[in-house]
Amino acid sequence: MTSTNANSSNIHEEDFATVQSATIKSLAQDMGFFTCGIAKAAPVDEAIAQKYRRWLENGEEASMAYMSNYLEKRLDPRLLVPGVRSIISLALNYAPAQQIPEGEYQIAAYALGQDYHDLMKQKMRELAIKITERWQLPSKENGEEPSIRCFCDTAPVLERYWAQKAGLGWIGRNHQLIIPHAGSMFFLGEIFLPYEADVYDEPMSNRCGNCHRCIDACPTQAIIPNEDFHAERCLSYQLIENRGELSNEAKKNMGNTIYGCDRCQTACPWNRFATPNTEPALQPKPELLSMSKEKWHNLTVEDYQRLFKGSAVKRVKYDGLKRNITVTKM
């Protein structure tokens, strides 16, 4: 969670209340974001809010108790950040340029490089600074000092909902944001602005049609038509978030996967359009690409710390990764 205040002498004097959407999108593109959209800050649509509440009531979040934290703020960004007027949604491509050789143990594509939280926050902070260099922050409102806040998977924000609201793409049957002619392998982040925008983007309608390849590809039946997403069944949840013993379904269907799961994404026809990312921080270490099954089974704590320093794989911790590796022998 980041605040950025304006103290620049380069502020444009002509307009303190409204930001130009086209300018922000141009700045975002220059910084390497694949796409950018802007939505008006407002409570989450009631139908979506009810669906999310029902998902929690049914216990579908499994052990991810944080999904129920700050519920009202999650469903109304104005409660999370007083004074927010607009929400910028940003997408950064992580489609891999290099992959672990087929037949070796696999790691989800998003975790092949450095931790996306750090990369996204850095880029969003830089964009926030550029915004405050162009537009002065509004005056205090109700005693609150206006600020710009940056979020990336670290706050109660429905990021895919806001990405769809901002016109980036639609939420597919695999519950991922799908960007047309680009796919779903994108990190998402949001910048909360205390300004109105001159133009807001329109939400994108769903383009999945009758396709159900992601449903067919899910190895543990976590995606069921006309049902809420069953997180506890999801192989990615089992291999990352689950701190106990893996479910029988996970053990039976994990194959060579030892961290995360990309099967509902690789099955999606829209990911045929994915372009390999060129971000240096997201490229895998040569040592990771050269890991054999034998090396994985002999992985030490020191190996783990060296291999995954600054990586999202640190979330599963050494013991969790060793659990996953050991199960593949069964």
Alpha carbons 102 and 299: distance in angstroms, whole number: 20
CB 195 within 8 A of CB 86: yes
Nearest Cα neighbor of 236 from 218, 267, 259 is 259
Nearest Cα neighbor of 186 from 291, 63, 89 is 89
Alpha carbons 180 and 213: distance in angstroms, whole number: 17
Q: Is 181 left (phi over 0), alpha (psi -120 to 50) or beta?
A: left
To the query of whether residue 262 is one of the catalytic residues in this protein, the response is: no
Catalytic residue among 15, 118, 153, 319: 153
Q: Which residue has the tokens 């379904």?
A: 249
Q: What is the DSSP letter of 226?
A: T
Which H helix or E strand runs over 281?
A: none
Through-space distance between the first and last CA atoms of the chain, rounded to whole angstroms:
42
Task: Point out the residues that are catalytic.
Answer: 153
